[in-house]
């Protein structure tokens, strides 16, 4: 039986029709300001926000636009996002063969998931994925930018940073593997307080200085795992974009913060 995780937030977090969705994503990518677009080293990992596109889509696009030069090399995306609705111990895979969006189906990399089977913190939970938006909203961007890829979707619940890092290291790979951490920043603070809070959080991320708390970032657990791995790999960081919902489409009395950050590896010698 071919099991597919159907879209849960199409028509709410992003357009529900394939044509309108592709048009919207392409528009955001075209408008994205890509800092150092000609940099020789493509990103190995990205932190990307996961709110509705009207709120954080432009910030997310700044990260995905950075993949244009390396898109042809990427064959696997390891995507981690926090659970918002169903509690999970550890990191949950969905137990399906594909994820569907209005742009089509994305095959799950079952071979990669099989490689995680020995880790006790990796479990199977279809319910954890069924209504979870933190992973889903990233998929149309990936579909628009990457010609062909398989997905390793991980819904992250109650886990330690080291448990997350262990999963990332198992699937680290080379230029064929991209890691995406889906996370927003602070939630429901007044505009000015959120700006200061989020700037402090972003400064810690750029210094690879964890751990973050869940008050700083809803995806703090997967972010902390990436920060541990990034330190071990001597990675460089770059802030691509930062804003909050008060800057885009929201009430400034209670805002949610967003940032996009790229992580690149040092490469030595002649390729």
Residue 150: CATH number of its domain: 3.40.830.10
Domain that holds residue 200: 4-11+42-264
pLDDT at 1: 81
Angle between helices 53-64 and 18-31 (to 10 degrees): 60
The reply to whether 166 falls in a domain is yes
pLDDT at 41: 82
Are 110 and 14 a contacting pair, CB within 8 Å? no
**Total number of domains constituting the chain:** 1
The reply to whether 36 falls in a domain is no
The reply to whether 26 falls in a domain is no
pLDDT at 37: 47
CA 112 – CA 150 distance, rounded (Å) = 10
The reply to whether 72 falls in a domain is yes
pLDDT at 39: 56
pLDDT at 270: 39
Below-50 pLDDT ranges, the chain: 37-38, 268-271
pLDDT at 267: 63
CA angle 137, 181, 211 (to 5 degrees): 140
The reply to whether 37 falls in a domain is no
The reply to whether 30 falls in a domain is no
pTM: 0.96
pLDDT at 113: 98
pLDDT at 250: 82
The reply to whether 147 falls in a domain is yes
pLDDT at 108: 98
pLDDT at 271: 41
Nearest to 84 by CA among 6, 9, 16: 9
């Amino acid at each position: 039986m071919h099991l597919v995780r159907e879209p849960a937030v199409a028509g709410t977090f992003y357009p529900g029709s394939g044509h309108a969705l592709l048009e919207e994503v392409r528009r955001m990518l075209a408008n994205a300001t890509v800092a150092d677009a000609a940099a020789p080293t493509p990103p190995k990992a990205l932190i990307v926000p996961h709110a509705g596109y009207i709120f954080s889509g432009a910030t997310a696009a700044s990260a995905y636009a950075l993949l244009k030069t390396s898109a042809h090399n990427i064959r696997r995306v390891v995507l981690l996002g926090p659970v918002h609705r169903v509690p999970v111990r550890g990191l949950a895979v969905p137990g399906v063969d594909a994820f569907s969006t209005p742009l089509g189906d994305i095959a799950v990399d079952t071979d990669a998931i099989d490689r995680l089977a020995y880790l006790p913190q990796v479990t199977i939970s279809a319910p954890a994925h069924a209504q979870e938006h933190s992973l889903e909203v990233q998929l149309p961007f990936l579909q628009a930018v990457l010609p062909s890829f398989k997905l390793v979707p991980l819904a992250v619940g109650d886990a330690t940073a080291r448990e997350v890092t262990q999963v990332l290291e198992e699937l680290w790979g080379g230029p064929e593997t991209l890691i995406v951490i889906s996370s927003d920043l602070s939630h429901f603070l007044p505009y000015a307080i959120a700006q200061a809070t989020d700037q402090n959080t972003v400064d810690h991320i750029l210094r690879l200085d964890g751990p973050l708390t869940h008050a700083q970032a809803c995806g703090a657990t997967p972010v902390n795992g990436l920060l541990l791995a990034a330190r071990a790999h001597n990675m460089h960081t770059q802030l691509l974009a930062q804003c909050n919902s008060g800057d885009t489409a929201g009430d400034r009395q209670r805002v949610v913060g967003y940032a996009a950050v790229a992580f690149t590896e040092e490469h030595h010698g002649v390729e």
